[in-house]
Structure 1
Amino acid sequence: MVDNGRKCYNSAMNVTVDQDTCIGCGACAEICPAVFFLDEAVGKSRVIDPDACEYANCCEAAEENCPVEAISIEGDSGF
């Protein structure tokens, strides 16, 4: 995982959580816990491993359900 202070992402699929936009609601971690987790120390969600999606489109579902559109996905999830 790469953390540049403003965006956290895993370069395998280029899934990002914009740390300036994220409100730490945890919706993404609830929908796709293999990929996202809520870092309570900073109150923001982070990407663990986008390749660990347990079922098709969970990353995309997390992106679609983010209330502040802090998640972006580029590339192919392989599903």
Structure 2
Amino acid sequence: MNVRVDEELCIGCGTCEEICPAVFHLDEISGKSQVIDAEACEFVGCCEAAEENCPVDAIMLEE
């Protein structure tokens, strides 16, 4: 599974990091979410929840 964050849409709310800290991290400089371990999506299983709960639909999952 491939996961990415559209930094243009991301508002830095931190929801994805709260739900799935193994995969997402808020960058201290930009304040935007970044993917730190895309492979963890397959093992942790929280990426779908992060995608569904992103208030601005900035997270994209691709098989």
Q: Does the TM-score normalized on the shorter chain lie above 0.5?
A: yes
Residue 41 of structure 1 and its aligned partner are, at CA, apart by 0.7
Residue 50 of structure 1 and its aligned partner are, at CA, apart by 1.9
Give the counterpart of 2:26 among 26, 38, 49. 38
Give the counterpart of 2:2 among 5, 8, 14. 14
Which is richer in strand? Answer: 1
C-alpha distance in 2, partners of 1:30/1:42? 18
Poorly superposed stretches of 4+, deviation over 2 Å: 53-56
Residue 28 of structure 1 contacts residue 36 of structure 1 at CA under 8 Å; is this kept in 2? yes
Bigger radius of gyration? 1
Which is richer in helix? Answer: 2
Aligned match of 1:55: 44
Q: How many residues are matched?
A: 62
Q: Relative contact order (C-alpha < 8 Å, sep 6+): which is higher?
A: 2
Structure 2 residues not aligned, in runs of 5+:
none
Residue 31 of structure 1 and its aligned partner are, at CA, apart by 0.2
- So what's the TM-score if we normalise by structure 2? 0.89
C-alpha distance in 1, partners of 2:44/2:26? 20
Structure 1 residues not aligned, in runs of 5+:
1-12
SS at match of 1:49: coil
- So what's the TM-score if we normalise by structure 1? 0.72
